[in-house]
Structure 1
Amino acid sequence: MIVVFDAQCLLCSRWVKFLLKFDRHGVFRFASIQGQAGQALLARAGLRVDGLQTLLLVDGKRTWQHTAAILRVLHALGWPWRAAWLAWIIPAPARDAAYRLLARNRYSLFGRSDTCLVPPADYAKRFLD
């Protein structure tokens, strides 16, 4: 599975670091929206980098966005993160509205880096570019 993320967003970069720490089986690979691989995956999903307000999860030909992507990622991590699956009982429009509000304000709330996240050397092979 590939997580496509904004490497200049400090919240998004923390999310990737969290996944690197807790993905014990190396299930996830990563592509930034600033890189060619990430942009190609976004285009394939019908998304544009400009004004992007979602995390994209790609698993083969299937893609997920917003909270569906986050919940699938947490489920794949196993216990205790799999317990987040209970959030599916909250209607998607409500979950995704909260997600989009956070995504719209992510730079002002969490900060933005002028440089992209540089993966730790021991995880570099899990980043597509």
Structure 2
Amino acid sequence: MLEEGKKIILFDGVCNLCNNAINFIIKHDKKDTFRYASLQSDIGKELIEQRNIDTSKLDSILLIEQKKMTYFHKSTAALHIAKQLSGLYPFLSVFLILPKFLRDWVYDIVAKNRYKWFGKKESCMIPTPELRALFIDQ
């Protein structure tokens, strides 16, 4: 189920912005670096529990590195994901030099308003058959 060496992205499965972001990442993940699961899935909950992540404060995308048992969240996760994508997106990682509180302040504004601005689904995204292998919560 969890492939060795793959990084896992946990995302809000009912958020339209999050789902569109995952589709964007899949399109630009030419090195096949990532696997995906919703925060609401059983595997998502298990990975969160294993890392003792406080879900009451979780309003974020999570990037989990299996080998190190570490994770990144909010802007740090987004920028580390961008670093692995094809095209010019890795250059966005230059923003990692900015203080985390500043980056996360911007991230939090978008996260707080994501349902209002982009909408919400009634249930988690169901990947197409050709993408199903990329999702570990299927």
Q: Same fold (TM over 0.5)?
A: yes
Q: Secondary structure in 1 aligned to 2:52?
A: coil
Q: Any gaps of 5 or more consecutive residues in structure 1? A: none
Q: Does 1:126 align with 2:130?
A: no
Q: How many residues matched?
A: 129
Alignment of 1:68-87 (within 5 A): 68-87=76-95
Q: Any gaps of 5 or more consecutive residues in structure 2? A: 1-6
Whole-angstrom CA distance in 2 between matches of 1:45 and 1:74: 23
Q: Does 1:102 align with 2:110?
A: yes
Query: How big is the alpha-carbon RMSD for the aligned residues of Structure 1 and Structure 2?
Result: 1.4
CA deviation after TM superposition for structure 1 residue 79, in Å: 3.3
Q: Does 1:23 align with 2:29?
A: yes
CA contact (8 A) 1:33 1:49 kept: no
Is the helix fraction higher in 1 or 2? 1
**What TM-score comes out, normalization by structure 2 length?**
0.87
CA contact (8 A) 2:30 2:86 kept: no
**What TM-score comes out, normalization by structure 1 length?**
0.92
CA contact (8 A) 1:4 1:31 kept: yes
Equivalent of 1:11, from 13, 17, 30? 17
Whole-angstrom CA distance in 2 between matches of 1:10 and 1:50: 21
Name 1:2's counterpart in structure 2. Answer: 8
